[in-house]
Amino acid sequence: MIGFQKMYDSIKTKLQQAYVHNKAAYDLRRRSVHFDVGEFVWKRNKVISDASKHFSAKLAPMFIGPYRVKKKIGFWTYELEDDNGHSAGVWHVQDLKPVLNDVSLIRNDLHPLDY
């Protein structure tokens, strides 16, 4: 019985060490982001290349916007709206980036590649 108790304690400590190590590795790249309602964000541009239209997704802008946070849906999801108040869908926080500049300086009439 004592052999099993030692083996149990050994496994328990190794599992705890593995947990601590994996948590430290995960937390290195963890981005703790929280957006408030009314805040402006950039939305990831998810496009697919189309040879028939001579369009390459590689050359498209990575983020488009800015969009306003309309509502927080869950822990990591937000509903966005454009300048006209139309819904831009529900997006996960990993696909959003905060607008760091003043939104009034952003010109919406230009294509993102023209900046």
Residue 113 has pLDDT above 60, yes or no: no
The CA distance from 112 to 102, in Å, is 16
3-class SS of residue 106:
coil
Kindly list the domain boundaries of the chain, sorted by start residue.
1-30, 40-102
Looking at per-residue pLDDT, the higher value among 5 and 32 belongs to 5
pLDDT-wise least confident of 4-8, 26-30, 56-60, 89-93: 26-30
Confidence of residue 107 (pLDDT cuts 50, 70, 90): low
3-class SS of residue 31:
coil
Whole-number average pLDDT of the chain: 88
Q: Is the pTM of this model over 0.85?
A: no
22, two tokens: 């994996």
Architecture, CATH, for domain 40-102: Roll (2.30)
Mean pLDDT of 7-12: 95
Answer positive or negative: Cα dihedral of 56, 57, 58, 62. positive
Q: Over the range 65-99, which residues count as b (16 or more CB within 10 Å of their CB) and which as e?
A: bbbbbbeeeeeeebbbeeeeeeeeeebebeebbeb
The CA distance from 91 to 79, in Å, is 6
Q: Any idea what DSSP says for residue 8?
A: H
Residue 108 has pLDDT above 60, yes or no: no
Are 45 and 64 in contact, with CB atoms under 8 Å apart? yes
pLDDT tens for 51-80 read 999 999 999 999 999 999 999 999 999 999
